[in-house]
Structure 1
C-alpha cells in the first residue's frame, strides 16, 4: 500500500518527478564517471603482486646555480651495478625504449612496421619484477642476444594465426632476431605499454656507438627498475646512495644524487614524467562530489517546494493518528524510490557516455555493473548517501507540519526561504566557478599552443631519417629542394622546442666548469634558417659533420656573465656531453627550447651528423600532393623503412595533453553543472509562478504589461544568481591563480573572464525562468483569478 501510495503521489506531480529523477540521474552519472576515472588512475600498475617492493632508480641533478633537474632515465651500467653491490636488490632491470623498424617476412612480401613507442630492449629481470602471463617461453631468453618476446596482440599483428615461435624478424634492416616467447597482453591500467621486448644484449649490435660504460650518459627513455627483498629496506638503500655516487661519479657526486621512486608514484609524479598530477585527481574528486551535491540541492529545493502542496495531506494523516516519524519515513521512502529510479537511469547514461567521454579524455572509462564489484559498491553507497542527504531535510520539514495549520493550508516552515535561497546560491556558485575555471584553462591552453617561441613553427614537417650516411642524406635534401613547394631542409637530433633535455656541463675558455647546464641541439648549418631562428651576432657555422663551430643563444651569453653577444664570438666552449671543444661563431636570439612549464635555457647548436635522427622540411604552402612527393622521395631512398611524418606545431601541442585533459574535464562538467542547476531553477520557477497565479491575474487587471510581469517573476531568481556570482568569483580567482603558478609563461586573469561568466550565467538563468514567466504573463486574467 505504501509503495502504491508513493507511486500515486509521484505520478500526480509528473513534472517535478521528472525533474527530480533526471536531475539526480545526471548528477549521479557524473559521479559514476568521475569514480571510474579516479579508480583507473589510482589502479595504474597496482596489480603487480610485488608492487610495494618495486621502484624506479632515478637521479636528481643538483646544479651549481642551485637548480635541480629530475631525471627518470639512467645510465646503462646502473642496473647491473646495483644488483652486484646491494644485497637488498633482488632483481634489477633496464628498459630502453627506442623506435624500431621491424620487417616481417610474409608469404609473398615483407611487411614493415615502424614501432615508435611499443618496442624496447630489456633483460630477464624485467619479467621477474613485473607480472606478465607467459604463454610460451621463459624470461631467461632475454639475457641472450638476438631474441625477442612479443605480446599476444603483436604476435597476431605480425603473424596472424600462425605460430610465431622460432620465426625471425629483422630490426632496422640489419639484425635478425628470433621470436623466443609470447606473453599475455598488458591491461589498460598500466604505464608500461611495451609489446616488443628485444633481448638486452642485442642493443649493442644495433646501437654500437653508445656510452654503455659511461655513468654520465643518461637518457630519459632508458630506465632502471629494481625490486628490493623487502619494502622496509628502501630507506637504508637510499642512505647508501651518496657513497655509491661518490664511488662512480667522483668529484661530480654532489651533482648526481640517486634515490628510489615508488612504483605507486610513477604515474603521478610530473617531475619524473608522470601522466597526471595528484592535484588533478583531487580536482576530479571535487568535481564528482560537486555533481552529486548540485543534484541533491535540486532535489531538496524541488521537494521542499512541492511539500507546500501537501499541507492538507499531512494534516489529515496526523489527525488520523500518524506520528511524526511515520510521516518522516514515508517521505524518506519516496526519496528512496526516486533515487533508485535515478540510479538506474544514471547507470544507463554513464554506460553510453563513459566510453565517448573516455575517447575525448584519452582515458578508458567503462561502466559495467555486471563485472565491477567496486563500481557496484560505490553505486550502493552513493544511493544511500543521496537518500540521506537529499531526503532528510524535506522529510523533516514535511513531518514537522502542525496538523491544525496544515488543514487550514497555512504555511509554516521557519527559515524555508533562507535555506532554499542559500541552496540555489550554492548551486549556481559551483556552476559559476566551473565556467570561470574552464574559460581560464582554455585561454592558458590556447596561449601555450600559440605563444611566439622565438622561432617559426608553422608549415614545418618532421620525418625520421633511418641512417646518417652522407650520400643518402644529401640525395634526400637535394631532391626535396627541387620541389617548388619546399623552402628549406635541415637535419637534426631534436627540434628547437622539445621535451628531450639533452645537455651537460660546459667550460668557457679557461674557466672552471660553469654552475649551469648547457642544452645541446645537434643540427646542421640549415637549422636556424629552417626554423626561422634569428642570428643577432656573428655568422652561421660552416657545414660540418662533427662539432667544430658553435652557435649559442642570448641566454647562454647572459649566464656566462658576458656584457654583449660580441664578447662570446671566437671563444672556445667545451661541450660536456660530447667532451669536445668548439668555437662560438654566432649568437642567436632566445627561443623556447623546451615546453612552457620552464623558462628559456642556455643553449648550444652544433653539428654532429652521427647523432641526427630527423629532417625538418619547411613548406611554402600546405599541399597534399607535396606530402605525397616527399613520401615518394623518402621511400625510394629508404625502401626498407616505413615513412611517417608529423607537423612541428602538432608536436608542440602534444606537450600540453595534461592541460587538454583538464580543459576537457572542466568544460564537460561545467556544462553539466549548469544544465542540472537550470533543471532545478526551472522547477522552482514553475512552482513559484503557480503559487502566484492570482497575483498575476490581479496585476494584469490593474494594467501590468507582459514585460513587467515577466521581469517581476524573474527578478527574485536572478538576484540569487547574482549573489552566486559574487560568491564564486574570488574562489575561482584564488584557485586559478595557484594553478597558473605551475607555468613559466601564463595568461593573466582578466576581469572580463568573470564578467563574461556572470553575464552568461544570468542569460542562461533568464532563459530558463522566462519561458514559464512569459507563459504565466500571457494567461487570460479571468482564468488566473479563478484558479485555486
Structure 2
C-alpha cells in the first residue's frame, strides 16, 4: 500500500511539474534563509557561554549619575577596584583586571628580529583571568602573571612569533621598553568569544610600561580598563549590588552618590550597546523573526497553490473514495506528497545555505559554518524545521482535499468560493505582501540613514587626512617629526592629538567657570596642539587659535559649551578662566569653535574643550594636498627615522569614520537581502496563482477576445484582482512599518525623517513587482488564439 501511494505521489508531482517546481523552489529558498539566520542567531546567543563559570561571571560597570540628571554608562574601572573587591567581599571568588593597550612587540626568530604592531590582541591582566575564563593549557600556568615581565601566548601567536618551535622560555620585547619571558602557552580560543586576546602580559608589567597613570586614583576610570569577577554563587549578585552604595561612599566620599556600581552578566556583555556591546539583543530577535517569516511565506505559497490545485484533482479524489479509500488515507496521501517536497526542498536549502554562508561571513566578519554532522543543534533545527513545514504547509490542503464529497467531485460540481474577499487564499496573499512591504520599507530607511551618516557635514574636513601612531611623546622627536613632515611638498599641515574628532569620544569631566562652583554637566575634552583647528578645518566663530604650548594654558570651547554656561554670545566667553577637571588645570578661553561632532552620530553634540597636553598625544594627523604611493613612502621614511623600533602603520581619517557605521552597513545588507528574498517568495507564489487563475478563466478570456476585447484590456482585468490584494497589504502594513522604523531610528541623535516617500516607494515596488509577475502570464494568456481555446472546451 505504501509503495503504491509513493508511486502515485511521484506521478502526481511529475504531472504537475510547474506547480511542483514553484513549491520546491519556494520552500527551498525560505528554508535556506531560515537555516542561515539560525546559524547567525545561534552564534550570537552562544558567545562566551562555554566558560564553566559563565552563570556567575560579571563585569563590574558603573553608571555616573550627574547633577544635571544625565547618566553616563561606563564599562571601565579604576585600577584598584579588582583587588579591593576581592579583599572586602567574601562572596567575590576571583577578580581580574583587563588593561587593553596597543603594543609593539619585537620577537627574534631564526636570527631575524621581527616587529609586530598588536592593536587588539594584547591584554595586561592578573592570574585570576584564567580562573574566570576557560583556556586549555599547553604548557606553563597562570601563576606566572603574578610577577613582572611575564607573558602567556596562544598557540597561534607562539607560531606567529617563533614559528613551529617551542615558545616557552623565549623572550619578546614590548614597546622597546621591557623584555617579556613567555611563561605559558594556551590553546587558541574558540570562535564564539568577545575576548579575542592572544598575548597576556602580567599586570605588574603595566606599571613599568605606563608609569604615568592614576593607579591609586579612584576617580581615574578608563574605558580600556575593565574588571571582571566571579561570585561564589549567582544568588550573591543582589547582595553585592546592595552594598555598592556604601562601597562608593567609602572610596569616593561625598561624590559617592555619582558612582553607581552594578554587575553586568557575562551573557549581556555581547549585547549591551551602552557598555560597548557588539550587537543589540533586539537585532537578534528581529533576525529570528525574519527567519520565521521567510518560512511562513514559503508555506503560504504552498498552501495557496495546493488548495488551488485541489479542485483540479477533485475527480481523482472522488474516484479513489468511491473505490474504498478512506478520508484519513486521502489525508495522509497528501501529507506524504508534502513531505516528499519538503525533504527535497530542505536538501536544496542546505546546499544553498552552505554556499551563502561564506558570503555572509565576509559581510559580517564572522565565521558562520554549516557542518551538520558535527553540529547537533543545527541538526535538531533542520529536523524541527522539516516537521514544521510539513505540518504547516501540508495539513490544511490535505484537510480540504480529504473532505471533498465524492459524488460532487466525480460530477465536477465542486466550486471554490472565489468571490469571498476575505478567503483564506486571499488572506495569505495579503499577509505575504504585508511582510514584504514592511521589509522593503525598513530596508529603504536603513539605506537612507546609512547614506545620511556617510554624507552628513560633521563640521570639519575629513578628506586627505592621514593618521599616524605616536609611540612616544618625547618633545624632541615630535618637533623633528613635525619639521621633516611639514617640509614635504604634499603636506599642507599636521597636528598632534589624543583622538580625532568624530572617531572616538574623548575623555571629559567636571569644569569650573571663573569663580562659579562646579558645573552640573560634564564637558568633553580633547588634548590637541595649536594646529588642530587648521588640520581638521574646524571653524572659529569668535576669538583666535591658541598659541603653541606643551601643556594646558590657552584653550578653545565650542558653541554648545557657551550655551551650557549660560553666556549670551561666543564673544562673552573670551578671555575668561576655565578650570578643566580631568586635566586638573585652569586655562584662558581664547576662541570659540562652531559645533562639530565630538563622537559618532549616535550621540549628539556635546560641550567640548580643546587644549594642549603633550603627555596625552597618541596620534598625528597629516593634512595632504595630494596622495599616492610615493607620498606614503616618504612619510613612512620620516616616521621610521624617529621611531625605528616601532611598526609604521597609517589610516585615512574618512575610512576611520566609515568604520563607525559598519553596523548600519551590515543592517543594510541583511535587511535588503531578506527583503528581496521575501519579495521573490511572494512573487513566486503569485506567479503560480496567476497561472492557475488564468487556466480557470481561459474560456472567459477567449469569449471576451471574440467579442472584441483588447490584449491590454484583458491583461488589466486579470491583473487587477491580484493588484487589489497587494494594495490592501500596503494599507495594512504601513502602520507596522512606521512603528519599526520609528523604533530603529531612536538609536541615532542625527537621523533622517520617516517621509511618506518611503511608503510610496515601498508600495510602488511591491505593486510593480507583483504587476510584472501577474502581467507576464496575463499577456501570455491574452495572446492565445481564442479559437484554439474554445475548441478545447
Q: CA deviation at 1:108?
A: 4.1
* Residue equivalent to 2:512: 507
Deviation at 1:294, TM superposition (A): 0.5
Q: Offset at 1:413?
A: 4.0
Give the 5 Å matches for 1:383-422. Answer: 383-414=386-417, 418-422=423-427
Paired position in structure 1 for 2:71: 68
Residue number in structure 2 paired with 1:166:
169
TM-score when normalising by structure 2: 0.98
Q: Residue 591 of structure 2: SS of its match in structure 1?
A: strand
Instruction: Answer yes or no: is the 8 Å Cα contact 1:694–1:787 preserved in 2.
Output: no
Map residues 87-486 of structure 1 onto 2, 5 A cutoff: 87-414=90-417, 418-486=423-491
Q: CA 1:706/1:625 → structure 2, altered by over 3 Å: closer, same or farther? A: farther
Distance 2:615 2:596 in 1: 25
Task: Note if contact 1:499-1:655 (Cα within 8 Å) is conserved in structure 2.
Answer: no
Q: Any idea what the Cα deviations from partners look like across 1:468-523, whole Å, max 9, x if unmatched?
A: 11222222222222222222100000112233341111111222111111111000
CA distance in 2, matches of 1:537, 1:637: 37
Is the contact made by 2:494 and 2:535 (CA closer than 8 Å) also made in structure 1?
Answer: yes
Cα distance, 1:79–1:12 mapped onto 2, change above 3 Å: same
Who is 1:717 aligned against? 722
Note the C-alpha offset of 1:197.
0.6
Look up the SS of the partner of 2:750 in the other structure. coil
In 2, the alpha carbon distance for the partners of 1:102 and 1:11 equals 66
Structure 1 position 543 matched with structure 2 position 548: yes
Give runs of aligned pairs for residues 44-63 of structure 1, distance below 5 A.
44-63=47-66
Query: Helix, strand or coil for the counterpart of 2:522?
Result: strand
Q: In structure 2, what is the Cα distance between the partners aligned to 1:704 and 1:413?
A: 26
The residue that corresponds to 1:569 in the other structure is 574
The superposition leaves residues 561-617 of structure 1 with CA deviations (integer Å, 9 ceiling, x where unpaired) of 112222222222111112111111111111110112211111110111111000011
Asked if the contact 1:23–1:676 (Cα under 8 Å) also holds between the matched residues in 2, the reply is yes
Tell me whether 1:742 sits opposite 2:747 in the alignment. Answer: yes
Give the aligned partner of residue 759 of structure 2: 754
Within the candidate set 731, 734, 741, 1:729 is matched to: 734
| C-alpha contact 2:505 2:598 (8 A) present in aligned 1 | no
The CA deviation at 1:73 is 0.3
Supply the RMSD in Å over aligned alpha carbons.
Answer: 1.4
CA distance in 1, matches of 2:587, 2:321: 96
1:781 alignment partner, one of 779, 782, 786? 786
Q: 1:12 matched to which residue of 2?
A: 15
Q: Is the 8 A contact 1:280 1:662 kept in 2?
A: no
Moved more, 535-544 or 706-715: 706-715
Cα distance in 2 between the residues matched to 1:111 and 1:388: 62
d(CA) in 2 for partners of 1:169, 1:574:
43
Q: For 1:229 and 1:737, locate their aligned partners in 2 and report how far apart those are by CA, in whole Å.
A: 43
- After superposition, the C-alpha distances for 1:365-386 in whole angstroms (9 at most, x for unaligned) are 2111111111111111111111
SS of the aligned residue for 1:154 comes to helix
- Native 8 Å contact 2:711 2:779 kept in 1: yes
1:586 to 588, 591, 608: 591
Residue 627 of structure 1, CA deviation: 2.3
Gaps of 5+ in 2: none
- The alpha carbon displacement at 1:661 in A equals 2.4
Contact 2:108-2:162 within 8 A present in 1 as well: no
**Within-5 A mapping of 1:75-94:** 75-94=78-97
1:311–1:401 contact (8 Å) kept in structure 2: yes
In 2: Cα distance, 1:205 partner to 1:243 partner: 33
Task: State the shift of 1:34 in Å.
Answer: 1.1
Count of matched residue positions in the alignment of Structure 1 and Structure 2: 788
Deviation at 1:415? Answer: 6.7
